[in-house]
Amino acid sequence: MRLRNITGSREIIGQSPFVLHDPEQLKGRFAKEVFGNDHEIHIEIGMGKGRFIMEMATLHPEINYIGIEKYSSVLLRAIQKMEQLETPLPNLVFIRMDAETITEVFDHNEIAKIYLNFSDPWPKDRHAKRRLPSREFLHRYEQIMAPEGILEFKTDNADLFSFALAEAPEAGWKILKQTTDLHHDTDMNQGNIMTEYEERFSSAGNKISKCVLSRVITKMILAFLMASLLLTETVKAVNTVPTEEQAAAAENRKRMRVESNELTGWPEGPLLGAESAILMEADTGAILYEKNIHARLYPASTTKLMTGLLALENSTMEDVVTFSHDSIYNIEYSSSRIGIDVGEQLTMEQCLYGLLLGSANEVAYAIAEYIGGSYDHFIEMMNERAEALGCKDTHFANANGLPQKDHYTSAYDLAIIAKECFQNDSLATIAGSTKYTIPPTNKQPEERKLDNHHLMLPGFKYEYEGVICGKTGYTSEARQTLVTLAQRGDMRLICVIMREEAPDQFLDTQKLFDYGFNQFQKMNVADNEKKYMLDAATFFRTNYDIIGSSKPILSINPNGYIVIPKISSFTDADVAITYSDHGNPDVATLTYTIDDHFVGNATIDYADNSTRTFEFANILVDSEKVIPQKVIPDHKIIFIDTNKLVIRVVFCLACIFAVLVIIYGIRRYVTSDRRRQRMKRKRFRKWNKKLF
């Protein structure tokens, strides 16, 4: 019994460069001939339309993949998808083969990893012997697997999973529970390939053969359709590929207003399909690009940045987290997870990799319980932290980002959360690692290999120069979300993309980084602020002496920067000064704007010897925007009003002068008086002499 192939499919398969044909050529050491000696080989048995294996081969260029598929009609679609790729995948080949014959083709101990999605045995005959996960077949896979090989079951069907577990032989290798999360955050272009193929055949004069549709074949085709339906249903929960409607909506969103494009003197930013997007300089908080940045949208897994931040702030990497029953069972089975079991123990460091690389929901839950004492308390902590950071459009209802109505944030809020997160070196390191291996645990003798889903990191498809770290997110409600940090020179840019369709979350980010790095410059305020500096500041320095210091009192903090368009110069930015009401160490802040848009600031601090002098007094004279002088309580008195200061100085000098004059006058008077008396006495003595 076999499924009828589409006419012509065998020919196409026969000529395809993506398919290995000759069983003799394949047999024995085939892998070494094709891929070389020491390459890791993964196979997918029953690869379907090739979606998963193509995604994996794209994500891991260093690993070699073989897709095995029994049915030509299915294999055809995979071939066509390979033909559509812009760049070929040299690490992937297909074989049309029945899994039953697998030991005839592969050598013993050859394969490092086997992926098995057994959506194939629909419930009616799932115990059938010749099904992919049947005990009989599993024993065959066992023979071709390396001693430390891994069999990964990926399914979102809990029943099928337990069926496979029951069938699993007590072999040396381990079955890893792997979920459909593997489909997350990938970007293969899907589309209805089958239809396209049929069209191609009909235009070439080849039609699907109808004359042979016997009753049995009709049944088989119906069964096949049912299977495809099942398959579609399976994939649906994790399907990141936009429907036509979703793609059209994204296209429409390119017409939305981009607020930053309306600023005078601002470079024109790109039009994106994202519902909202922001590009923020990480040190200054200056916003270079903004589109609908305060809209409340679903963050999806970018939520885990906050979860990670709280974990890092409230625990050490060595803390041991024990996974509770709730952490495993309160998370939707088909959602993103890395297969942790109840009672399993991971260090906080391993948890953080699971959280930020593996985007594991059960790990987010366990971290929340551990850090918060209770899950609910952790959610409160998340909301408090968000509020403290200044988030106005954020409310967290869970620790992982699974869709809930009252779980939302905005691109702006997410950028300030990310800004805080990425200042934490550990978090940035973890969120920027391309891969991580969780070593065996108390419940799991096998390693778990995790790969970052962020495809802009080094070695991935959308690799971008300067990308340091980030977090991906996807749910069918949120669509794609993406947070990324990139640095070139001293410019550190955070990009947040919300509600975009794959793979444009990466391309949008790329466009915004190009825009930021090419069109903007970061300038140090202390180095460039000439407006309030006097070259010969002796007069004012003398004044400092008057109020008791021989050093300058105030200076611009050398860490103050502004980020402005490259076409602008420092002096194009307007500056205003505001006084701190909390006092030390900063006295006031210089805030810079272009067209009333914040571009950065610098505090003015009590000076120490190392910082630049700032002639504070002159601000009143130069700037119209200055806020009137006020005396800051509990502060040293600072004379800010030049006029007052000058008047006081003049008044002091006048007083001194007056005193001097008086003293001089008195002395003169006294002196002359004495001389007169001396003269009198002299004359008196003369007369005396004359008289006697």
Binding interface with ligand SAH (CB under 6 A): 44, 46-48, 51-52, 68-71, 74, 98-100, 117, 119-120, 132, 231
DSSP string for 139-153: HHHHHHEEEEEEEEE
Which residues, including other chains, have CB under 8 Å from residue 520's CB and lie 6 or more apart?
267, 281, 288, 491, 563, 564, 565, 566
Give the nearer residue to ligand SAH in terms of CB position, either 179 or 398.
Answer: 179
Q: What residues contact residue 660 under an 8 Å CB cut-off, 6+ apart?
A: none
* C-alpha–C-alpha distance, residues 287 and 494, integer Å: 9
Is the distance from CB of 501 to CB of 273 less than 8 angstroms? yes
CB of 527 to ligand SAH, least distance (A): 57
Instruction: Report, in Å, the least distance between residue 132 CB and ligand SAH.
Output: 5
- Least distance (Å) from ligand SAH to the CB of residue 386? 37
Q: Identify the three-state secondary structure at position 308.
A: helix
Identified catalytic residue from 22, 38, 107, 120:
120
Pick the closer one to ligand SAH by CB: 239 or 284: 239
406 is catalytic: no
Q: Dihedral of the CA atoms 417, 332, 180, 436 (nearest 10)?
A: 50
**Alpha carbon distance 154, 237 (integer Å):** 13
Distance CA 253, CA 274 (A): 7
| Closest distance to ligand SAH from the beta carbon of 23 (Å) | 14
Using Cβ positions, the residue closest to ligand SAH within the complex turns out to be 46
Please, what is the minimum distance in Å from the beta carbon of residue 56 to ligand SAH? Answer: 10
User: DSSP 3-state assignment of 448?
Assistant: strand
Structure tokens at 646: 């000058």
Q: Which residues of 372-400 are buried (b: 16+ CB within 10 A; e: fewer)?
A: beebeebbebbbebbeebebebbbbbbbb
Joined together, the tokens standing for residue 22 give: 């000759």
Are 599 and 286 in contact by the 8 Å Cβ rule? The answer is yes
> Quick one: 117 or 239, whose CB is closer to ligand SAH?
117
Nearer to ligand SAH, 27 or 566 (CB): 27
Closest to ligand SAH by CB, 115 or 408: 115
CA proximity to 157, closest of 333, 293, 380: 333
Q: Which is nearer to ligand SAH, 155 or 557 (CB)?
A: 155
Give min distance, CB of 120 to ligand SAH, in A.
4
The residues that are catalytic are 120
